[in-house]
Amino acid sequence: MRHLRAHRKLGRTSEHRMSMLRNMATSLINASDERIITTLPKAKELRPFVERVITLSRRARTLEGEDIVARALHLRRQAAVFFHAGNRQQSPSTGKRGGQRAPRTAGVAALKRLFDELGERYRDRPGGYTRIIKLGRRDGDNAELAIIELVGNPNEVASTSSKAKSAISGKKKTTKPSETKAAAGGRRGGKKADSTFEKEETTRARGKGEATLGETKDADKAGRGGSRSKKTESTAAEKDAD
């Protein structure tokens, strides 16, 4: 039975494994698209690691009472354990007059973004802040790859908005051309004219034209016999003579 075997060792010592998870969590939070590609076992180990620290930032946004500042600071210090410490040259450089301030490490930047932005984003979300997407096997060592990303990342928001715009535009395209062009010209947008939206003057003119054309055709038929009519008349005259 697998008692007290809740996590994967990933072929590393405890110190190496924790350092790797801290680096991956920092990369995931600081990434512009809020996603990283790694192997599936690493992604499954990173998921609860990151979600614990996001829960701390979310809890800091929902504090109530008089000692909010002190409790928020305590939560921030608890979350700092999940990242690498800041630059050790930071404090000596600030004490020197005219000395340049050493740049902050990625862990400090991730902690700041975590409590400033992600805590507010997931304020009303009780868990499930990450998503794992399988990518298949990797060439070479045949390791199974996966994408781990934060829910509500910029790519997801952009795709959702584009789908909504396409749905709205699709609804507009389904309208009939006759409805849009009825008032303008009285004609349908297709190949055939729509008599329902035809103007009265056009209908009258078209009716008169058809009547005139019909009379002309009848007159032509009456006056034009052709070769067959001549043969028929000559045959009838011969029969009468006989």
More confident residue, 86 or 53: 53
The domain ranges of the chain are 14-89+103-167, 177-241
Angle (CA) 70-75-79 rounded to 5° is: 145
Report which residue type is found at 9.
Answer: K
Q: Are 34 and 142 in contact (CB under 8 A)?
A: no
What is the pLDDT averaged over residues 158-182?
Answer: 64
CB-based burial of residue 122 (10 Å sphere; 0-12 exposed, 13-18 middle, 19+ buried)?
Answer: buried
CA distance to 6, 9, 44, 92, 124, per residue, from 1 (Å) = 12, 17, 21, 52, 38
Q: According to the model, what pLDDT value does residue 70 have?
A: 92
Q: According to the model, what pLDDT value does residue 168 have?
A: 73
What is the pLDDT averaged over residues 208-212?
Answer: 59
* CATH superfamily name and code, 14-89+103-167: Ribosomal protein L17 (3.90.1030.10)
Per-residue pLDDT of 215-229, as tens digits, reads 656 655 555 555 565
Per-residue pLDDT of 2-16, as tens digits, reads 898 888 899 999 999
Q: According to the model, what pLDDT value does residue 157 have?
A: 78
pLDDT higher than 70, residue 145: yes
pLDDT higher than 60, residue 81: yes
Lowest mean pLDDT among 13-22, 48-57, 131-140, 232-241: 232-241
